[in-house]
Structure 1
């Protein structure tokens, strides 16, 4: 049962005319309602179709915070808030809950999980706070079970990127004895999965049909999961390793673009042979710097 303080959910009233930015949350809700009424792209979105955007915006916020540009951080926080408002608008249209219910639920959770702040439950340090937080979460999970949501062994794995979840799942499964003793088994499994993927990859120039595409996605997922397991066995963070590669790729590609610009050329004016040579030059530049 949803925690709610509303007996009747009424979607926000759409703003009329050309709105102005005011900084008022109610004006934002009215603007979102207008977009849901009149923007073709916004109209066709669903809570499920918005999931990739919510994940993307969270990562862009993290990157902005790391870079420290205050204007970018404000913009990215706004994009994250947009996802919250967008989801709430759609659920309100279905008369399930609205933004005030989300705020109410959050307030209740924060008050419930901070008895050391709001009640006579004084805790000595942050470790004690963390211990009490976990105890309260355990009580909340027990309540969820009473509501018919069974607790399973891997339910402690938090949401995150696919790599993060894969590594956390494998770590939890290992604690329960579902693991190889050494890295050899993980590497053999990776090689096995890659071989299975290679068997169904179509020849060059042949696009997979819907059924084959689904099978390729499954096999590729198995390969990724197996590779994450290798990372775990090496005590490496798969997410951090991938992010390192992403940043390295962006840096090297930026080097290619800059070198071409010095020659008065653009990426469109170049070919794969020239770009590959500059890629190797970028690698040498990294090693020398």
Structure 2
């Protein structure tokens, strides 16, 4: 692994190249925050794909692309004399220090070399409310309360959930933030009564063929299932992505068989496709074993 000096040198090299491209490359010259945004979203999803596949080579590559975009936005802001990459890094560092009072005292915000506890800051007695956090759950609970106290922090508990998040992830984050201030089931097992209740209400509306009401109840049912996943420490987005990948593998197996047989999928019976689906499942089990 590289030394800290080598890491900083590599970061500086990236900034130097971006500066040169901004000056000399026609494409880089014309980029704006708005024009970069779709690419940033794509790069972020590509990183997420690599993480789900546990592909170390691709993770490294996509991290580089995401980092490049971060630096590019900061470069555009520097040109407008708004801020630069140093401001971005310092603001993030200060935020981390302030939100981890069990590691750093908030008085260390802005310090060039912040000192981890134990040390005795001048105003220690005034800032010990969140200084104890022995578990990760306590850290998260403190985190939400601290953010509400920040000068430029969240005004309400749920205001920190981006409106543009995909709905499944947004639901999980909403529930998680509510949990961190004590709004949650006392026993995780109790959530299943709610799941069954919401499923029954969905079934009732489907029988009535009321599309609007059915849509609302479907949302309530999905929200309750996500809640159950959270309570059992399962990530529903990761779980669904695994199922998506599994479905694609098995369906591709059916399609490849149809191609080899010279028969379009549309000419195959459901029974034939089910048989191939089960073959794909069996092959997966054999590979796992």
Shorter-chain TM-score above 0.5: yes
User: 1:186 maps to which residue?
Assistant: 195
User: 1:166 maps to which residue?
Assistant: 171
Aligned partner (choices 268, 274, 282) of residue 277 of structure 2 = 282
CA RMSD of aligned residues (A): 4.9
Aligned partner (choices 55, 61, 66) of residue 67 of structure 1 = 55
| C-alpha contact 1:91 1:97 (8 A) present in aligned 2 | yes
Q: CA, structure 1 residues 259+90, in 2 after alignment: closer, same or farther (shift >3 Å)?
A: farther
Matched, 1:81 2:67: yes
Note the residue ranges of structure 2 that are not aligned, 5 or more in a row.
1-11, 106-112, 120-132
Task: Return the alpha-carbon distance in structure 1 between the equivalents of residues 92 and 230 of structure 2.
Answer: 34
Q: CA, structure 1 residues 149+107, in 2 after alignment: closer, same or farther (shift >3 Å)?
A: closer
Matched, 1:150 2:150: no
Note the residue ranges of structure 1 that are not aligned, 5 or more in a row.
1-21, 202-214
**More moved, 189-198 vs 131-140:** 131-140
Q: CA, structure 1 residues 284+178, in 2 after alignment: closer, same or farther (shift >3 Å)?
A: same
Matched, 1:119 2:115: yes
How far residue 176 of structure 1 moved from its aligned partner, in angstroms, is: 2.1
Task: Return the alpha-carbon distance in structure 1 between the equivalents of residues 190 and 197 of structure 2.
Answer: 13
Q: CA, structure 1 residues 245+280, in 2 after alignment: closer, same or farther (shift >3 Å)?
A: farther
Q: Secondary structure at the match of 1:150?
A: coil
Task: Return the alpha-carbon distance in structure 1 between the equivalents of residues 142 and 175 of structure 2.
Answer: 26
Aligned partner (choices 10, 21, 37) of residue 31 of structure 1 = 21
Q: CA, structure 1 residues 244+150, in 2 after alignment: closer, same or farther (shift >3 Å)?
A: same
| C-alpha contact 1:166 1:228 (8 A) present in aligned 2 | yes
Please report the TM-score for the alignment, with normalisation by the length of structure 1: 0.57
Show CA shifts across 1:68-113 (max 9, x none).
3x3x233212222233134334544654323232123234446665
Aligned ranges 1:109-258 → 2 under 5 Å: 109=95, 115=104, 118-119=114-115, 121-122=117-118, 137=143, 141=147, 143-144=149-150, 146-147=151-152, 149-152=154-157, 154=158, 162-170=167-175, 173=178, 175-176=182-183, 181-192=190-201, 195=205, 199-200=210-211, 224-229=222-227, 231=229, 237-258=235-256
How far residue 59 of structure 1 moved from its aligned partner, in angstroms, is: 0.6
User: 1:52 maps to which residue?
Assistant: 41
Show CA shifts across 1:177-218 (max 9, x none).
6799452333332454574796348xxxxxxxxxxxxx9998
Show CA shifts across 1:107-138 (max 9, x none).
44466656499526359xxx869699769857
| C-alpha contact 2:74 2:84 (8 A) present in aligned 1 | yes
| C-alpha contact 2:172 2:227 (8 A) present in aligned 1 | yes
Q: Structure with the greater relative contact order (CA < 8 A, sep ≥ 6): 1 or 2?
A: 1
Please report the TM-score for the alignment, with normalisation by the length of structure 2: 0.57
Q: Secondary structure at the match of 1:76?
A: helix
| C-alpha contact 1:57 1:79 (8 A) present in aligned 2 | no
User: 1:271 maps to which residue?
Assistant: 265
Task: Return the alpha-carbon distance in structure 1 between the equivalents of residues 39 and 185 of structure 2.
Answer: 35
